[in-house]
Every structure is written in structure tokens, then in C-alpha cells.
Chain A
Amino acid sequence: MATGGQAIDALGQFELHPVFGPIGASVRFTQSNLMMLIGAALILGLLYFGMRAKAVVPGRLQAMAELCYDGIHGMCINQIGAEGKAFFPFIFTLFFFVLMGNLLGLLPFSFTYTSHIAVTFALAAMVIVIVTGVALRIHGLHFFSYFFPAGAPKLLAPLIVPVEIISYLSRPVSLSIRLFANMVAGHVMFEVFASFIVMMAGAGLIGGVAAIGPLAVNVILVGFELLVAVLQAYVFAILTCIYLHDAVHLH
């Protein structure tokens, strides 16, 4: 999206636009939400078409669906413990929702909904509300002992308790900004190097040959961003699991 002259509009790709004409505009349905729908449909489609055979010896698609199931199921059980089974559908939804946002964003002409802090913060806030709700439900008011580690000197309570509370409240912030920043950074770099290609190609023969440089960088970046996309979804899900473990077991 290089504009005329020397300007690089690296941030224009993150602008929201209503889709589906006037109807979409009236309910403020943006391309970001469209990608969410597509991502959700892809997950449901994978499970539906994969598991339709219900084969004892799975085919390719069924093996993939089962791999997704087993992977997240194992993560829940390993990180949270036996109680993790109850949170499995939530973790599964969260992981694949974030993963689809990250991966679909790498396709041309698509949109990365995880590059919006409003989206990632909403997800992180939901996680922290659920985690706190689970902790309060299991431990009642005893949950607040979480903010004062057992065995610490009572004198230090005025220091430790605020620090623990701040660290607890900073969880959604770090969770959301980590994902948001990674996605934004990747897409800004794509845009910047792509603009370099266009600008250099427009600057004569030598520039056109030299434009191979930024093109190569972008090719490498695609591979790198694929890794980041999966890794960040994994980090988001596993941190949620760790928070849930803390909520279930209190330290």
C-alpha cells in the first residue's frame, strides 16, 4: 500500500472498514469481524469434515483434527492438572481463535484481527475474569491469600501485597500487548519492505535489480511470521493454562 511520493503508509492496513455494504455498515460489521467468522468456520469445518468419517483408523483430515484435539487436551491436562478437562473447550476455542487470526492475517488482502489491541485486550480481559471467577468459586475468600505468599514476614505485607496485586493485574496487559505487538510488528515490516520494493523498482534499472533485496527479506519474513503466528497463539493459550493452574491450586 505504498502511496505516491516518498511516503510509506505502514499503518493503513490496520484501518477498519465496514463490509457487506449498507447492512454491514448499519451494524458496524467490519472486515476484522468477517475474518473472525471465516476463522471460526475453518475450525468448525476442520472438525466437522475431519470427524465425519468417525474412522477407527483415521484419514489425513481426521488425523489432523485429532491432532488438534489431542494437542490442546494434553496441554490442559499437563498444565492445569486433572481439573484441566473442564477448561479444555475454552482453551481450545481460545487457541484456535488466536491461531486463525494470526495465520489468516498472513494471506494477501486479508486482515489480522489479532493486530488490534481492542481485540487482544478483550480476549485477555475475558481470560483474567474467568481465571479470577474460577479461583473465587473454588477457594472463596481464601483466594485473597494468593496476594500474600505463605511464610513471608508479616512486616513486609504492605510492600508485598500491592506488588502481588499489581503483578496480577498486569497479566491481561502483558498477555494482550504481547500478541498485539508481535502481530503489528510483523505486518508493519511486511508493508515497509514491500514499499521498498515498489519504490526501488520505480527508481530505474539499478533500483529494479536491487529491489530483489527487500523481496528476499519479505520471503524470509513470511516464514518467520508463520512461526510467530503459531508461537504467539501457543503462548496465549499456555499462559491462560498457567493462570488457570494458579487459580485452581493457589500457588
Chain B
Amino acid sequence: MRFTASLAGTLLASSAAFAQEAPKGMPQLDFHNPLTISQVVWLALIFLALYLLLSRWALPQVADVLELRAGTIGRDLEAARAAKAQADAAVAELTSATRAAQAGAQAEIAAAVAAAKQAAGEQAARLNARLEAQLHTAETQIAAARDAAMGALRQVAGETAGVVVTKLTGMVADAPRVEAAVAAAMAARKLSAGAA
């Protein structure tokens, strides 16, 4: 700007030299001209009118529109934020529901497996008990049969021994002695009626 001003200064000087009517000077500095001052009076009136019109009428309109826009944008942002929160809540709900369903299914599977195991165990136990009982019955029968067989063996042995003694010696064998001898022999061979 200073450059402009200095250039203007030189130009003013040169133009004054050109014009040869320098005494007139700049019209802006001619304060004897009533128009110079009247211009300022009109300036005051026009500036005041412009200020009042702008501050009371024109600028508030712009402010209203800007405020309206800021309000609209704010409301839209608010709505978007609410929608986002809603969507987030729905997603969270979905996730928790999925997780609960998974957990329920898992528990059901576990329960079914446990029930099946228990049923199988019970069945096996029942089967074992029956087998045990049959085995026991069979063993008892075997023991009874053997006892019976053993009792018969002693009698046969005693009678046989008596007959053999009679045949060899011609005497009637002493029954108690025969019986004791048979008992001793059987004990030696570990064949007792009670040892089933």
C-alpha cells in the first residue's frame, strides 16, 4: 500500500506539473466547497439508515436461517445417535440371545448324555445282579450235589470195607472201627463230607 501511495505522490506531482493548473489543488481538500461538508451530512444519514436496517431487519434474518440450520443439523445428529444406540442395543440383545440358546442346547445335550449313561449303568448293574444270583444258585446246587455224593461215598466205603474184612478174615467187622478207619482214610485224602 505504501508503494501505491508513494507512486501516487510522484504521479500527483508530475500530473500537477503537466496540468499547469496546480493552484486548484485536490477537490477533496477544498473545504470551502459546501458540497464537501454536505456530503458528510448525507454520509451520516445514509450510514445510520444502513446500520439500522442491517441490525434490525437484514442481519437477524441471516442469523435465523443459520440458527435454523444449526438446529436441524443438531436434531439430525441427535436422531442418528439415538438410532445408533438402538441398533447397538438390538445387536447386544441378539448376541446375548444367541449365547443363551447355545448354553441351553449345551446343557440339554449334557443332560441327555448323563441320562443315557445312568440308564446304561443301571441296566449293567441289573444284569450283573442277575448273573450273580444265577451263579450263586448254581454253586449252591453244585455244593449240595457234592455233599450228597460225599455222604454216599462214606457209606459205600464203610460197607465195602466191612464186606472185604468179612471175606478176608471171616469175622464180622467191628462197625465203629471200620467207620473210624474210613474217616481217617478220607481225611488223609482230604475228602470229607463237609469240605465241599
Which of these, A17, A66, A93, contacts B51 with CB under 8 Å?
A93
Verify B54–A93 contact, CB threshold 8 A: yes
- Given A44-B58, A182-B1, verify A192-B46 contact (CB < 8 Å): no
Tell yes or no: B28 within 8 A of A by CB. Answer: yes
Measured between C-beta atoms, what is the minimum distance from A191 to chain B in Å? 8
| Main SS at interface, chain B | helix
Tell yes or no: A30 within 8 A of B by CB. Answer: yes
Tell yes or no: A240 within 8 A of B by CB. Answer: no
Tell yes or no: A69 within 8 A of B by CB. Answer: yes
Closest A residue to B65 by beta carbon equals: A54
Per-position 1/0 for A217-240, Cβ under 8 A of B: 000000000001001100000000
CA distance A168 to B59 in the complex (A): 32
Verify A14–B27 contact, CB threshold 8 A: yes
Q: Which A residues lie within 8 Å of B69 (CB)?
A: 56
Measured between C-beta atoms, what is the minimum distance from A43 to chain B in Å? 7
Chain B interface residue count, CB cutoff 8 Å, equals 51
Chain A contact-residue range equals 35 or more
Measured between C-beta atoms, what is the minimum distance from A190 to chain B in Å? 11
Verify A116–B55 contact, CB threshold 8 A: no
Measured between C-beta atoms, what is the minimum distance from B45 to chain A in Å? 9
- Given A28-B35, A118-B39, A119-B39, verify A181-B28 contact (CB < 8 Å): no
Q: Which A residues lie within 8 Å of B43 (CB)?
A: 33, 36, 113, 119, 122-123
Tell yes or no: B170 within 8 A of A by CB. Answer: no
Per-position 1/0 for B106-134, Cβ under 8 A of A: 00000000000000000000000000000
Tell yes or no: B49 within 8 A of A by CB. Answer: yes
Q: Which B residues lie within 8 Å of A116 (CB)?
A: 28, 36, 39
Tell yes or no: B4 within 8 A of A by CB. Answer: yes
The chain A residues found within 8 Å of chain B, CB to CB, are: 6-12, 14-18, 27-30, 32-33, 36-37, 40, 43-44, 47-48, 51, 54-56, 58, 62, 65-66, 69-70, 88-90, 92-93, 97, 113, 115-119, 122-123, 126, 178, 180-182, 184-186, 188-189, 191-192, 228, 231-232
Q: List 5 A-B contacts (CB under 8 A).
A: A14-B28, A30-B39, A40-B53, A92-B54, A118-B40
Given pairs A51-B65, A185-B8, A231-B1, 9 additional interface contacts (CB within 8 A): A29-B38, A48-B58, A55-B65, A58-B65, A62-B65, A66-B65, A66-B66, A89-B55, A185-B5
